[in-house]
Amino acid sequence: MNVAVSGHLTVPLPPERAFELFTPRGEQRWVAGWLPRFPAGPADESAPGTVFETDANGRRTTWVVTDRTPGRRIRYARVVSGDNAGTVTVELAGGTAGTSDVKVTYELTALTESAAEELRNFAARYPDMLRQWAGAVTVALTDPAQLHLRKPGPRSAFQMAWSSNHGVTGLWRRTVSSRAAPIRMSWTPS
């Protein structure tokens, strides 16, 4: 069985900066428990041919960067031994007001009958997963330690759509006077 799913999320950074969030180490900024291991210790973690592994839910996944256009696209091949294999493609395009429209596509093949059912469930939950990703990225970007990802100017502000895994949605408004000034946050439920 094959599954192909695609969806979009908005990241409040321009593509050349948002791209960092979808590299192997960049995902550590917003994916809880994401700890890529690089057997060959790459000089450039997003270079085509780079191999890394992750562990989640008792399963090891082997990833290979298959191609990239810095700031615009990265594609991975991934294999969960005895379960599923396929590709993940992340494409970034400029949005409005310095944001990025991020398209994420998974194309996976089940390697067993039990994996086929898991892939059907994955496809059904995919829109929720992307909403969770958007929320996790937003939370990461509200952490003062992540301010290096964007370039705030005087009285800069950005708005972020946010959702948690509980389906709470709303709009964060974050205002920064300068890098040294405190961050002010306000939440408006939708």
| Residue 172 is assigned to a structural domain of this protein | no
Does some domain include residue 152?
Answer: no
**92 belongs to a structural domain:** yes
Residue 158 belongs to some domain of the structure: no
Check whether 168 has a pLDDT greater than 90: no
- pLDDT tens across 16-25, in order? 999 999 999 9
- The DSSP secondary structure of 157-170, one letter per residue, reads EEEEEEE-TT--EE
Does a structural domain hold residue 164?
no
**Amino acid 187: pLDDT:** 38
What does the block give as tokens for 189?
């439920």
Whether residue 33 has pLDDT greater than 70: yes
Evaluate whether residue 65 is within a structural domain: yes
The answer to whether residue 35 sits within a structural domain is yes
Q: Can you give the pLDDT at residue 42?
A: 67
With a CB cutoff of 8 Å and minimum separation 6, the contacts of 183 are 142, 144, 174, 175, 176
* pTM over cut 0.85: no
137 pLDDT more than 70 = yes
Express as a percent the part of the chain with pLDDT over 70. 75
Residue 37 lies in a domain: yes
Nearest to 21 by CA among 118, 107, 139: 139
Report the pLDDT value the prediction gives residue 41, as an integer from 0 to 100.
81
Q: Which domain holds residue 108?
A: 2-144
The CATH number assigned to the domain holding 51 equals: 3.30.530.20
Band of pLDDT at residue 144, cut at 50, 70 and 90: low
Q: Taking 60 as the threshold, does the pLDDT of residue 183 lie above it?
A: no
How high is the pLDDT of residue 153? 35
Per-residue pLDDT, averaged over 162-184, amounts to: 37
| Of 181 and 24, more confident | 24
Q: How many domains does the chain have?
A: 1
Asked whether residue 151 carries a pLDDT value surpassing 80, the answer given is: no
Query: Which pLDDT tens digit goes with each residue over 77-129?
Result: 999 999 999 999 999 999 988 999 999 999 999 999 999 999 999 999 999 99
Looking at residue 76, what is its pLDDT?
Answer: 98
Q: Are 27 and 10 in contact (CB under 8 A)?
A: no
